[in-house]
Amino acid sequence: MEPNTQILSTEDLRSQEYFLNMGPQHPATHGVLRLLLTMDGEIVKNIEPDLGYIHRGIEKMVEYDTYRQIIHVTDRLDYLSSHINNEAVALAIEKALEVEVSDRIKVIRTMMDELTRIASHLLWWGVMGMDIGALTTFMYAFRDREMINEIMEKTTGARLTMSYNIPGGVMFDLHPDFVKDVKAFIPHMRKVLPEYDRLLTGNIIFQRRMKGVGYLSAEDAVSHGASGPVARGSGVRCDIRKKAPYSAYDRVKFDEIIETGGDNLARYQVRMREMYESLNILEQLVDNIPEGPYQMPMRTLIKLPKGEFYQRVETARGEFGVFIVSDGKKNPYRVKFRSPGLSNLNALIQAGRGVKLADLVAIMSTFDFVIPDIDR
Amino acid sequence: MTAEELKNYLQTWDDSLEFIEEIPEDVALFAALEDVPSEWLNVEVPLSHFKGIMRHLKADEKTSFDYLFNMTGMDWGQELGVIYHLESTRHGHILVVRVRTADRENPEIPTVEDIWKTAHLHEREIFDLLGIRFTGHSNLKRIFLTPDFQGHPLRKDYEDDYMILRK
Amino acid sequence: MMNMLSINIFQNWLEQTHGIWYVLVLAGIAAIYLGFFAVAGLMLVYLERRVAGYFQLRLGPNRVGPWGLLQTIADALKLVSKEIFIPKMADKLLYKAGYYIVIIAALLALAVIPFARQIQALDFNVGLFFISAVSSVGVLGILIGAWGSRNKYSLIGAMRSGLQMISYELSAGFAIIAVVLMAGTLKMTGIVEAQKHTWFLFQGHLPAIIAFMIFLISGTAETNRVPFDLVEGESELGAGFHTEYSGMGFAFFFLAEFINMFIISALGATLFLGGWLAPFGITDGLPAQWLWGMIWFLLKVFVLIFLLMWFRWTFPRIRIDQLLTLEWKYLLPVGLVNTVIMAWIVWKDWLIHLG
């Protein structure tokens, strides 16, 4: 047999690109996100998201709801930040009606916000570890998240979709145990956060998997509309709590966490450090819950004046906005929920191009998507 | 800049804009909407000069609106349109821009995807739910609904006997 | 070659004995072996779940049987009763052959592992070579099973598996060679007997310890366990190569993984930790030496298995390029140099002999 003397060029050796269908049932997409990947071997060449697997048409639905009912729908957007979503709607309605709520309500809302944020970040930390193969993190995170859930349950009656805010206040007064529980929770959390660092952050494999992966520049982050820890990991100052303080955020001292790395590790560190900041905020408020009514007198059937009202809040995932267009009736004319997820997904397409499949999973978990928030 | 300063600054544009060749005398470049109560400055731009103005809003040093934080597709009954919420991360001011088209059958608005990349998915969403075509968009197709879905559900005249209960 | 050798032994043995009776005895031994390892595999699954529970602040299985001991047996029964599902587009022959090859390769390797002085199925002069040859057949099953599944995730997993096995077989080989240099034989019992005074881990100074660490790392990689579980990589690939398998097909892969873990640990215990030998000979004078041998051997194996489980429940997974970098840029050169140093030590007869 003739030996094959033809010299192969690198062009001939190139592998064939193929499509990989990631999702809607895939463990790393945390829900029903579907990504159509164009792959070259292990390398992701292009990402095309295919959304809508959990699209419920909430924006259409709420056009037929009264303003009090809208709040309960927002739980189902970003279910891990449900309290903050509720608050955005409540604040928008209060802004439209020019109702000034009592200090007690503001403080309660702020504390609940921060508890929600910690709970959300804890869940993120747990599944983040799972996404890169460290299975133990999940259980640690859930142990501590359980404490928050119990605090929530005592006061609001629900663990996840709380619907605690109503226009002009909160639904119930704080449970008598609330202060005691929060005071027990803060030192516990300060004790376990370093433990988390020992378990995962310091691990050499983890560091190698995170550093320099999924780079997103500050310009790209802004242009792609990224917000929250994703944008702050790229060095963009975008914390709504600082930019446009709502509730009691103007009276507490806290730092806006900025990391300039723009990679997975930066986004990871932003969330880890944010938990400390949330604890700081809780600590400042827990002893100073003012007396006062927990609900402001409001009409049962709320009618907003004609106009457009926008309220921005900072959820655990980024900037959440409620845009209400009212024509003076009992139902809104149009409601738009600005979800952090959809814009962050935009940034993922940028950050996830040209990485390995395993890295894409890691990047997705540092972007921390909640799919109902994207689909709405 | 505060809303008032922003408004004054934007009004100086009328004379010095070089990116629009000819502006018809009867078209105001910015119609500041006084009838919409809002904490931010609301302006409406004519569809014909929309793209140039949007590009300039980002490029201009004084405004530099680089962060498009919200895009809302609107159905005002007679007209369709889009409301853009713009923010400058450098200056911290916010501008609400709206553009509308009277054509309900084949509404077309130029894309801003090349100015703010975030518009890529948001425009697909608005196309999906309101049927506004964004001319120049790189991949304009339905995003949430199935490709064979009929109609655009967020329109006020959308009828669905099964899902929507008419009172 | 290997085949002929074992057939010869088998024939000679049969000729020397009384025919059918001994064939039955042989079959009985085989059945005991299979039964033992099926149970051992299940117990390892149970152990893994308990250890995982311990690491993860939870209890693990504790309802079926005393302390949940029967949990995995119940799970196995459930898996047996499940439909064996073959995807429509799958290559049926390859799909089915996959798990048989994997489980057979895993069980074959057990044949030469010495549990105690007389308790070993097959003790022949190239036992160590046999183990490393047979255990690398398993990857073939993974490859063709995944290829036959016609699933892209399976295929990615299989390709990773191929890469991983080919790479880490090398450094595992060098670690084993270091021991062979010290022992001067490939016979498993010979290796254990050579550690009569001192375990090889301590006999060979630093190079032996380095060899042991390389062996542990590449052993973890060969059994596809965290941090080298890219083959399954459940958060990336669903379940990797066994995505499309159900029922017993899946159970075979699962069991094979645990038997492989046992083999690697048993090999580590035999090569470096003195196999069945008691530390400092503390149980040497006692009766029932075979039992004491087994106890010591299984204890050492358990320690290594626990170590592997410890890795699994604390480490994140590494990436495919990091996996290859680790092997080709670090482990392999270190292993090579280590082997040369070890040869030098053996040549100069600098081995440590206590007692």
Reduced to 3 states (helix: H, G, I; strand: E, B; else coil), residue A309 is strand
As for how many domains chain A has, the answer is 1
- What is the DSSP track for A212-281? T-S---HHHHHHTT--HHHHHHTT----HHHHS--TTGGGS--PPP-----SHHHHHHHHHHHHHHHHHH
Contact A374, A345 (CB under 8 A): yes
Q: If interface means Cβ-Cβ distance under 8 Å, which residues of chain A face chain C?
A: 18, 20-21, 26-28, 42, 129-136, 138-140, 143, 199-200, 203, 205-206, 208-209, 356-359, 361
Name the residue with higher pLDDT: B164 or A3: B164
Domain boundaries, chain C: 18-77, 82-348
- CATH code matching the domain that covers B3-106, chosen among 3.40.50.360, 3.90.220.20, 3.60.40.10, 3.30.460.80: 3.30.460.80
8-state DSSP, C141 = H
**Pairwise CA distance, residues A293 & A27, whole Å:** 45
C-alpha distances in angstroms, A161 versus A375, C110, C234? 18, 54, 29
According to the model, what pLDDT value does residue C17 have?
Answer: 61
Range with the poorest average pLDDT among A80-89, A163-172, B4-13, C118-127: B4-13
Ranges of chain A with pLDDT below 70: 1-14
Residue A324: how many CA atoms within 13 Å on its side-chain side? Answer: 32
Amino acid at C292: W
Q: Give the full edge-to-edge strand order of the sheet including B94-101.
A: B31-32, B41-44, B94-101, B80-87, B67-75
Name the residue with higher pLDDT: C209 or B9: C209
Q: Give A-chain residues touching B163 at CB under 8 angstroms.
A: 57
Chain centroid to CA B90: how far?
22
**Pairwise CA distance, residues B51 & B115, whole Å:** 9
Q: For strand B41-44 and strand B94-101, is the pairing parallel, antiparallel, or unpaired?
A: parallel
Residue contact A375–B144, C-beta within 8 A: yes
Nearest CA to C138 out of C255, C239, C238 is that of: C255
Reduced to 3 states (helix: H, G, I; strand: E, B; else coil), residue A312 is strand
Contacts of A13 (CB under 8 A, 6+ apart): none
Q: What are the pLDDT digits (tens) for B63-103?
A: 788 888 888 888 888 888 898 988 888 888 888 888 888 88
Q: Which helix (H) or strand (E) holds A372?
A: helix A371-375
* Number of Cβ within a 10 Å radius of residue A2: 4
Stretch C68-93: mean pLDDT? 84
Contact A367, A347 (CB under 8 A): yes
Residue A350: how many CA atoms within 13 Å on its side-chain side? Answer: 25
Shortest CA gap C149–chain A (Å): 15
Amino acid at C198: T
Domain boundaries, chain B: 3-106
**Pairwise CA distance, residues A70 & A293, whole Å:** 23
Could you tell me the sign of the dihedral formed by the alpha carbons of C307, C309, C313, C319, in that order? positive
Residue contact A132–C230, C-beta within 8 A: no
Q: Is residue A12 part of a domain?
A: no
Q: Which helix (H) or strand (E) holds A310?
A: strand A307-314
Contacts of C15 (CB under 8 A, 6+ apart): none
Q: What are the pLDDT digits (tens) for C311-337?
A: 888 888 888 888 888 888 998 999 999
pLDDT category at C1 given cuts 50, 70, 90 is very low
Q: Give B-chain residues touching A346 at CB under 8 angstroms.
A: 117-118, 120-121
**Pairwise CA distance, residues A201 & A271, whole Å:** 12
Residue contact B37–A64, C-beta within 8 A: no
Using a 10 angstrom Cβ sphere, with 0-12 exposed, 13-18 middle and 19 or more buried, the burial of residue C276 is buried
According to the model, what pLDDT value does residue C16 have?
Answer: 66
Q: What are phi and psi of A228, to 5 degrees?
A: 70, -155
Using a 10 angstrom Cβ sphere, with 0-12 exposed, 13-18 middle and 19 or more buried, the burial of residue C246 is middle
Q: Is residue A139 part of a domain?
A: yes
Q: Is residue A55 part of a domain?
A: no
Residue contact A132–C238, C-beta within 8 A: no
Shortest CA gap A308–chain B (Å): 6
**Pairwise CA distance, residues B12 & B1, whole Å:** 15
Contact C232, C157 (CB under 8 A): yes
State the virtual CA torsion across A41, A47, A48, A51 in degrees, nearest 10: 110
Q: Is pLDDT at C100 greater than 60 in this prediction?
A: yes
As given in the structure block, the two tokens for residue C187 are: 């016979």
8-state DSSP, A124 = H
Contact A165, A94 (CB under 8 A): no
As given in the structure block, the two tokens for residue C297 are: 């051997």
Quickly tell me which residue has 């922003």 as its tokens: B6
Q: In this structure, what CATH number is given to the domain that contains residue A308?
A: 1.10.645.10
Rg of chain B (C-alpha set): 17
According to the model, what pLDDT value does residue B27 have?
Answer: 57
8-state DSSP, C277 = P
Residue contact A343–B67, C-beta within 8 A: no
- What is the DSSP track for chain B? --HHHHHHHHHHHHHH--S-S---TT--S-EE-TTS--SSEEEE--GGGHHHHHHHHHH-TTT---EEEEEEEEE-SS-EEEEEEEE-TTT--EEEEEEEE--SSS-EEE--TTT-TTHHHHHHHHHHHH--EEET-TT-S-SSS-TT--S-TTSTT---TTT----
According to the model, what pLDDT value does residue C334 have?
Answer: 92
Contacts of B122 (CB under 8 A, 6+ apart): A225, A342, A343, B68, B71
Contact C84, C96 (CB under 8 A): no
**Pairwise CA distance, residues C33 & A102, whole Å:** 76
Stretch C97-121: mean pLDDT? 82
Residue contact B143–A220, C-beta within 8 A: no
Q: Is residue A128 part of a domain?
A: yes
Q: If interface means Cβ-Cβ distance under 8 Å, which residues of chain A face chain B?
A: 48-49, 51-52, 55, 57, 59-60, 64, 219-220, 222-227, 236-238, 243, 305, 307-310, 312, 319, 321, 323, 325, 334, 336, 338, 342-343, 345-346, 349-350, 375
User: To the nearest whole percent, how much of chain B has pLDDT over 70?
Assistant: 80
According to the model, what pLDDT value does residue C80 have?
Answer: 84
User: To the nearest whole percent, how much of chain B has pLDDT over 90?
Assistant: 0
The reported pTM is: 0.86
Q: What are the pLDDT digits (tens) for A245-282?
A: 888 888 888 888 888 888 889 999 999 999 998 999 98
**Pairwise CA distance, residues B107 & C263, whole Å:** 69
Contact A158, A152 (CB under 8 A): yes
According to the model, what pLDDT value does residue B29 have?
Answer: 64
Cβ burial A175-191 (10 Å sphere, 16+ → b, else e): beebeebbeebbeebee
Q: What are the pLDDT digits (tens) for C16-27?
A: 665 667 777 778
Count of A-B CB contacts under 8 Å = 96
Nearest CA to A28 out of C238, B97, C44, C138 is that of: C238
Q: Is residue A5 part of a domain?
A: no
Chains that touch B (3 or more CB pairs under 8 A): A
Chain centroid to CA B167: how far?
32
Count of A-C CB contacts under 8 Å = 80
**Pairwise CA distance, residues B135 & A292, whole Å:** 54
User: To the nearest whole percent, how much of chain C has pLDDT over 70?
Assistant: 94
Three state DSSP letters for C221-264:
HHCCCCCCHHHCCHHHHCCHHHCCCCHHHHHHHHHHHHHHHHHH
Q: Which of A135, A143, A358 is facing C236, going by the closest CB pair? A: A358
Contacts of B117 (CB under 8 A, 6+ apart): A220, A223, A224, A225, A346, A350
State the virtual CA torsion across C53, C57, C62, C66 in degrees, nearest 10: 90
Q: Compute the residue count for chain A.
A: 376
As given in the structure block, the two tokens for residue A214 are: 């999924």
As given in the structure block, the two tokens for residue A265 are: 């590790």
Q: Which helix (H) or strand (E) holds A18?
A: strand A18-22
Query: Which ipTM value was assigned to this complex?
Result: 0.85
Contacts of A241 (CB under 8 A, 6+ apart): A249, A254, A256, A314
**Pairwise CA distance, residues B94 & B87, whole Å:** 4
> From C51, which residue of chain A is nearest by alpha-carbon distance?
A136
Q: Is pLDDT at C197 greater than 80 in this prediction?
A: no
Q: Is residue A49 part of a domain?
A: no
